[in-house]
Amino acid sequence: MHIARTPDELRAALAGRQHPAFVPTMGNLHDGHIALVRQARTLGDCTVASIFVNRLQFLPHEDFDSYPRTFAADCAALEAAGCDVLFAPREADLYPEPQTFRVQPDPALADLLEGRFRPGFFGGVCTVVLKLFALVLGRTGGTAVFGQKDYQQLLVVRRMVQQFALPVQVVAGATQRAPDGLALSSRNGYLSPAERAEATALPQALARLATAWAATAPATPEAQAALEAEALHTLRARGWEPDYLTVRRRSDLLPPTASDAPGSLVALGAAKLGRTRLIDNLEC
């Protein structure tokens, strides 16, 4: 695996490649990321991963400084998965001057759900992703693989690609789960053993919410809010601090209307367990 630290090194590593398949990450890789890399291997003539902890997508009180940097282990895992090129820029290489031009995603999509609780998050994600796309895929076009666990991020990136007519095909990678159902996430590493055991309550709450939704097909905002309130209450009673547990349309993440068929919805949740904020989703 070739490790490129600068845009120039990356350009040299990609010379002659016609269709890179790209997996952007912030490192601290787990089997969910590795599954995305394996998927990418089937989608291009060169598999590229990036590791960059992007300051622009963290709020001041969030975990930018403490975000685990596990470069040696990440390199070994990427190499074993058959990644061809790793782009791992230092901050000064990706942002050689202050990044004063920013992408402003459509608030109708980016200010909901995650965006409501992490203002500016998707602007920071889009800004770095646009820049990474330009560097990795800009010369040839290509494919980028994003995990479905970050459901809203996937939608926001798809919209950005569409709105800016970027030469990028965005492909979704299925969420990888531990045997007990917890979605794999870099932040699972923050959980104490007791919290790790409790963490399965989030996917369970989403599954119950999805089942109750399918059984009752609530059409009014009041009926929808009642089902969501029940799910929130269940998690709160177990000591969680949920931000949201909700069912939305897959297409735009707005609340479903009576004409939205089952099979076109997704249950999404975010909740804090101790100091760790977990997110998950389940299509329904």
Closest to 177 measured CA to CA, from 254, 87, 282: 282
Q: Which active-site residues does the annotation give?
A: 33
Which residues make Cβ contacts (< 8 Å) with residue 211, sequence separation at least 6?
none
25 makes contact with ligand PAF (CB under 6 A): yes
Taking the least distance from each CB to ligand PAF, the nearer of 57 and 148 is: 57
Quote the least distance from Cβ 108 to ligand PAF, whole Å.
Answer: 20
Place of tokens 């992490």: 118
In angstroms, the CA 120 to CA 123 distance is 5
* 24, 32, 123, 203: which one binds ligand PAF (CB under 6 A): 24
Tokens of 205: 């709450």
The two beta strands, 265-273 and 241-249, are antiparallel
Backbone angles phi, psi at 140, to 5 degrees: -115, -15
Considering beta carbons, is residue 148 or 153 the nearer one to ligand PAF?
153
Tell me if 126 contacts ligand PAF by CB under 6 A: no
Does position 54 bind ligand PAF by CB under 6 A? yes
Residue 63 interacts with ligand PAF (CB under 6 A)?
no
Q: Which amino acid is at 113?
A: L
Q: Is there a contact between 122 and 153 (Cβ–Cβ < 8 Å)?
A: yes
Say which residue the tokens 């459901």 belong to: 151
| 32 annotated to a ligand binding site | yes
The reply on whether position 129 binds ligand PAF by CB under 6 A is: yes
CB of 213 to ligand PAF, least distance (A): 27
Verify binding: residue 26, ligand PAF, rule CB under 6 A.
Answer: yes
The secondary structure of residue 174, as a DSSP letter, is P
Contact between 31 and ligand PAF per CB under 6 A: no
Q: Which residues bind ligand PAF (CB under 6 A)?
A: 24-26, 54, 57, 125, 128-129, 150, 153
Q: Which residues are annotated as a binding site for (R)-pantoate?
A: 57, 153
